[in-house]
Amino acid sequence: GSYLAEFLLEKGYEVHGIKRRASSFNTERVDHIYQDPHLDNPNFVLHYGDLTDTSNLTRILKEVQPDEVYNLGAQSHVAVSFESPEYTA
């Protein structure tokens, strides 16, 4: 996701990402583009959430009102995707 975020920022996009709370706060891949969320009009914002939590996703989408959505969090292993399709969408 960091490469896509960097690409979109270079194109002038405002980029929002979602990070699970359970994850360690490892922002190494985005440290060079990370901005303090307390700044006025940041171009890159990380939100805490889980892609399986529809109420949290709905809240973030209502708050941000994005023009485009890129989902890079789906299951990429083919066998697992057939066994657990709900994590593949």
Per-residue confidence (pLDDT) for residue 88, from 0 to 100: 66
Under-70 pLDDT residues of the chain: 21-41, 87-89
What's the CA gap between 53 and 18, in Å, rounded?
12
The CATH superfamily of 2-87 is NAD(P)-binding Rossmann-like Domain (3.40.50.720)
- Rounded-to-integer distance, Cα 17 and Cα 62, Å: 14
pTM listed for this prediction:
0.71
Angle at 84 between CA 82 and CA 88, to 5 degrees: 80
Tens-digit pLDDT profile for residues 29-45: 666 566 666 666 678 88
Q: How do the domains of the chain map onto residue ranges?
A: 2-87
Q: Where are the alpha helices (DSSP H) in 1-89?
A: 2-10, 54-64, 78-83
At 38 the three-state DSSP class reads: coil
